[in-house]
Structures are given as C-alpha cells and as structure tokens.
Structure 1
Amino acid sequence: MESLGELLESMKSSALRRRTAEITEELLKNPLIQAMRAEYPEIDDRVLRINLSKLYQYAGDQANCKQCPGLDRCPNDFQGHYSKLDIQRVNGTVEIYERKTPCSLQVAKTNEDQIRKRIRSFYVDDKALNEGYDHMEIMAKDRLRAPGVHQVFKYIKETKENGLSPRGLYLTGSFGTGKTYLMGYLLYELAMAGYSGVIVYMPDFVEDLKTMMQDGPKLKEMVETMKNCDLLIFDDIGAENLSPWVRDHVLGSILNYRMNRKPTFYTSNYPLDGLERHLSFTSKDGEEAHKGQRLMNRIAPFVDVVHLYGENQRGKF
C-alpha cells in the first residue's frame, strides 16, 4: 500500500489540502476509527490530524488483512505484518503509537522456519522433509503398518513428556512401507519440541565419504554434527557398499560416541541379524565377523525394533 506521505508528497499545495480533507473525512467514517474514538473520546479532530499518517496506515493494513491474498502476496508495506495502534493518556493528552505486529500467517511461517533450522539432511531429498505430515493420513494409509506406527507415535509422546532417551528405534520392513517417511515425521515432531536432528541416506553418504577423505575439515565437521545432534537417523542402512575405513573409523566412531548419550535411529530392509552379516563384509577385506559384531554391539542394545509391515506405497497416488 502506498504510504500517506508518498501520496501527499506528489500533490501541489491546493490539491494536497483538498486530498488531506478527503482522507480525514474517510477516516472519520471508518468503523475502526469510529470504534477507537468511542473508546477514547479525547481523540478529537486535532489529534486525528496530528496522527493522520498512523491512522491511515492502520486502516489500510486492516483492510488488506480482511481480504488477505496469502503471505506471499501480502500488500502491506511490511509483508506479513499489520499496523496496530496503542493509545496512551499522557498528562491529560492522548498519544497514539503505531507498531508493526506479525499476522498469524507470518507467526506460523516463523515457527516453521525455526523448526526446519533444527533439522539437517545429508543426501536425503529435502522435499521429503518439507511436504508436511498428516497424523491421520499416516495412520490410515495402510492398516498393516498400524502397530509399527503406534510404536513411533509412542516414542515421540514419551520423549516430549520425559525428555531425550539414549535409546533409539530400528525400523525394519520391506521396500516402500514408509520407514523414511515415519522417521521424517519423528524428526519434525521432536524439532517442534526443540530437539535438533540429522537424517543421513547411507548409500550416498558412504559413496561421498570416499572423495571426502581428502577434505579433512569437511569430514570432521560432518562427523561432529552427527555425533552431537540430539537425534541421528541412518536411513536405509544395509544398502551401502562398505569399506573397512567407513565401517570402523567413521560409522564406528559416531556410534561409539553416541551410545549411552543420545538416541540413534535406523531404517533398513534387513532385520538386526541380517544387518550384522552386512556389516561383517567389506569390499576390500571380505568377511570379518568379529568387526560386524563389534559394530552391532553399538547398535542392537540401544534400539527398540519396530517391524513395519504393509504394501509398497511408492508410485501410488
């Protein structure tokens, strides 16, 4: 909306006086201004003229908000905010103060932005974390997975009520049953409660680590982030092509630090014993059962297993 100052500045003096009188008359008839004057009889025409710009802005913002076109197309001069007037009596006179107040849409966006800042993803499509989550849709989409969904919901509820536990969850099930989606939901819900979280897509993470060996600072920053975040999710663990260095010095280091401290979560097509066999084999050294067992000792005792049954939902609309 064009400010009153800009509007009047463009006019010559005679036209300005005429337009000022018109605006004053319009404001006198505005229901918002009439209601304010009824509450504060001290607001006479003199006070009105002194504060004409504030009243004009206030009335214009309120009119725009009444026909809100959405946050992205907000016509107010301070997008997502509207003018609010504070009326104070000072030494027998009335003072009118204007302040900008965020609307409900702006407040919701700010809250959403703060939640998103608590969540980081490595090699996971951000779109999967930004589509929004519908509690009822999660429950109704496939009744076969209801018991597993209930376990995830219970974990979220208990964490909100009792604080962070060092135990995480291990979601296992066939392809397309919603394991990643549920972990994204868990991250989002607990981010709203103030917890930070990281989700890592294991196949791409492991591949990228091979090139990251030459970039020590970047590797250290990523590992430290995974060690210290409140919630860490290894998505699709078991689908990666492990090397001894990744298994023993990267993954092992992260898990060794987090156990008994902070919860780690996993999604996998493998049950726990199948994951142990996978972790025992590397592309370089072949099968090393004791090393797979050593890593599983940092996983299995610190998770509750959630079996997610159901149909493959990928590609369904």
Structure 2
Amino acid sequence: MESIQSALKQWTKDNKLEQRLHDARKTLLADPLVNNALEGEPVTDDILDQGLIKLYEFQKERQNCESCPGLAACPNMMKGYQPEIILTRRALDLEYHSCSLKKNEENARKQRQLIKSLYVPRDILDATFEKLDRDHEREEASRKALAFAVNAMPGSDGQGLYFYGRFGVGKTHLMGAIANELRDRNIESYIVYTPDFFREMKQSIGDGTFQEKIDMVKRAQVLILDDIGAETISGWIRDDVLGAILQHRMLEKLPTLFTSNYDYDELEEHLAYSERGGIEELKAKRIMERIKHFTTFVTVDGANRRSR
C-alpha cells in the first residue's frame, strides 16, 4: 500500500502541505493514547506511514471513549466497541472489543434471559426478597423460599417446593423472588402459569410445536409451575404433558416448584377427574407420588394481597 505522504507528493509540490503533514504525524505519534498503544511494537517508519489512517481512527475512537457520553449516545463507528492497535503482516490494523459499558449491557441481557416465563405478569418477574412483605404469617414460607434459592443445585439435587395457600397470599411473588435470586447465581429458571400453558400445549399439537415446547420446560434447570390445579384437567394433559415433564425432571434431578390453592390430597383428587367425567385415581396417584417425593410442602398464610 502506498503511504499517504507518497500519494500526496504526486498530487502537489506544496512544501507547506508536506510540513503540515509532517507536523500532524508528529502530533499524532506524540498523543499518549497512540504512543502507549504502540509501545513495545516493532514498528518502522514505513509501517507508521502506511498505517496513519488506522492510527487516526484509533485516536478518534479512543478519545470518544475517554469522554464517554454513555452507551446510548456512543459516537464510535460500532456503538459500545473500542479499538486496539494490532500489528499483522507488517501492517497496522485495528481490532474492536466490547467496552465495559457494552459488556455490562450484554451481561445484564444474559441475566434477564436466565428467567424465562409464560403468561406471568411483569411485576412477578421483578419480585425480590428485599421487596417482599415482612409479615409474620409469611415468615416461614419466605425463609424456605430463600433457603432453596441460595442452595439449589440443579442436576445434583432435584428437591423442590410446593407452596400451598389461599388465593392472593403471595405465593407467586415468592416464586418470582426465587427466580431472581437464582438468576444472580446464573441458574436458569422457567416460570409457567400452568392453566394457560396447558391450553397452549393442546393448541401446539396442531401447529407442530408440541415437542419443542415440552422439551423447553422439561429441561429448565429450575421449573416453577404456578397455580397448578386451576386448569381443566384431561387424561392427556395429566399423563402426556404433566407426567412426562415430571418424569424427565425426576430422572435428571432438576427441581420443580409449585404454587397451588390445593394441598396434596386436594390436588390428587383434582387430577383424578378428567374432562370426560371419569375418575382415574391410580393415574392421579402416580403423578402425586412424584410431586410429594420431590417437593417440600410449605403453607403460605396471610391476608389477601390483591384486595388491598
């Protein structure tokens, strides 16, 4: 590649222009940003002459970083990226890397992706243990929820929780707080509002997405099934959806958490009924044995939060 100086000499014999170019080169190389970037590199004058454009680009981009206006207003050619000078094949080039703000944004995005949800209100996903009501009735439930969140070991320990309580006592908020604590430990969780999820699974048979959706839920590191028992049950949902999910998670030691207005016995009775009107106690009992064996029953007491 011709140097900038050589090319310009062909265009003009203006000595003043040559002097200005010389002075600009000298000023550029005296810039601490450029000087420090070149320190230790075996750079000859020819390499410098041919790489001036790259050095000017480096200087401008790094000066932008020195007076950073924030990621949203980043003036660099690639927003959120800053250049480093590299020497390759006896030529100067630039290699771009994420700046600290960009890395923080990417980490935050990855963190948000650790909490997946289906049909769960946004305020539930924002719940934290610090924001939970500290009343006496929920103290034991909050303590057990926090203990699970800080000690969960998906793949090694499949033990979960079963939160039972009346409508509106804060069971789902506890699950949201668990999900956020797990996120901080880089553990993926999936919060599912069970009635709507089961309805979607019926529809997915027609659009060919059934296996993809059930696999996604089966394989989540921690699965939270919210409001189980509120759905209209069918033999297919009980055996081929819920049963298949729980069987896989039991074998892989992946914790499953539940919230319900039904206790264990009431949920078993609910699962025994099918939409065809029959009673299948044995099949319901098989499902409940998996739930009972791999969860700790927790009663959530207190006033109805939604009536405030």
TM-score, length-scaled by structure 2: 0.74
* 1:106 positional shift: 1.8
| 1:234-245 to 2 correspondences below 5 Å | 234-245=225-236
1:206 pairs with 2:198: yes
Q: TM-score, normalised by structure 1?
A: 0.72
Whether 1:137 aligns to 2:131 is yes
User: Is residue 168–residue 302 contact of structure 1 (8 Å, CA) maintained in 2?
Assistant: yes
- Could you tell me how far apart the structure 2 residues matched to 1:188 and 1:142 are? 18
Q: 2:242 matched to 1:271?
A: no
Cα gap change, 1:41 to 1:106, in 2 (>3 Å): closer
Identity, in percent, stands at: 34
Q: Name the SS for the 2:152 alignment partner.
A: helix
Deviation, structure 1 residue 255: 1.9
Paired residue for 2:238? 247
- Where does structure 2 lack aligned partners over 5 or more consecutive residues? none
Identify which of 153, 157, 180 aligns with 2:150.
157
Mapped contact 1:244–1:285 kept (Cα < 8 A): no
Shift of 1:270: 2.7
Q: Alpha-carbon deviations, 1:32-54, whole Å to 9, x = none?
A: 346668x6699898775544333
Distance (whole Å) between structure 2 residues aligned to residue 310 and residue 26 of structure 1: 72
Contact preservation (8 Å) 1:281, 1:288: yes
CA deviation string 1:212-242 (max 9, x = no partner): 4444x42233223333333222111121121
Structure 1 residue 300 displacement after superposition: 1.2
- 1:30, distance to aligned residue in structure 2 (A): 4.0
Give the match for residue 300 of structure 1: 292
Aligned equivalents of 2:30 and 2:139: distance in 1?
59
Q: 1:310 to 1:232 in 2, by over 3 A?
A: same
SS in 1 for 2:296: strand
Structure 2 CA distance, aligned partners of 1:243 and 1:96?
68
| Cα displacement (A) at 1:299 | 0.7
| 1:4-59: CA deviation from partner (whole Å, max 9, x where unpaired) | x9xxx9xx97798687567546535644346668x669989877554433333333
Q: Is the alpha carbon distance of 1:311 and 1:45 closer, same or farther for their aligned partners in structure 2, counting shifts above 3 Å?
A: farther
- Contact 2:34/2:58 (8 A) holds in 1: no
Equivalent position of 1:259 in the other structure:
250
3-state DSSP of counterpart to 2:75: coil
What one-letter code is carried by the residue in structure 2 that aligns with 1:235? D
Distance 1:306 1:73, change over 3 A: farther
Q: Is the 2:128–2:180 Cα contact (8 Å) retained in structure 1?
A: no
* Unmatched segments (≥5 aa) in structure 1: none
Equivalent of 1:282 in 257, 269, 274: 274
Residues in 2 aligned to 1:247 and 1:275: alpha-carbon distance in whole angstroms: 12
Is contact 1:196–1:229 with CA below 8 Å preserved after alignment? yes
Q: Distance in 1 between matches of 2:17 and 2:145?
A: 66
Q: Which one-letter code corresponds to 2:119 in the other structure? A: Y
Q: Does 1:27 align with 2:28?
A: yes
Report the secondary structure of 1:156's partner residue.
helix
CA contact 1:119–1:198 (8 Å) conserved in 2: yes
Structure 1 pair 84/148, CA: closer, same or farther in 2 (3 Å)? farther
Is the 1:231–1:264 contact (alpha carbons within 8 Å) kept by the matching residues of 2? Answer: yes
- 1:173-252 equivalences under 5 Å are 173-190=165-182, 193=185, 195-215=187-207, 217-252=208-243
Q: 1:290 to 1:67 in 2, by over 3 A?
A: same
CA distance in 2 between counterparts of 1:242 and 1:16 reads 85
Residue 98 of structure 1 pairs with residue 99 of structure 2: no
Contact 1:142 1:310 in 2 (8 A): no
**Partner SS for 1:282:** coil
Distance 1:80 1:307, change over 3 A: farther
Matched, 1:110 2:106: yes
Alpha-carbon distance change, 268 to 26 in structure 1, aligned in 2, over 3 angstroms: farther
CA RMSD of aligned residues (A): 4.1
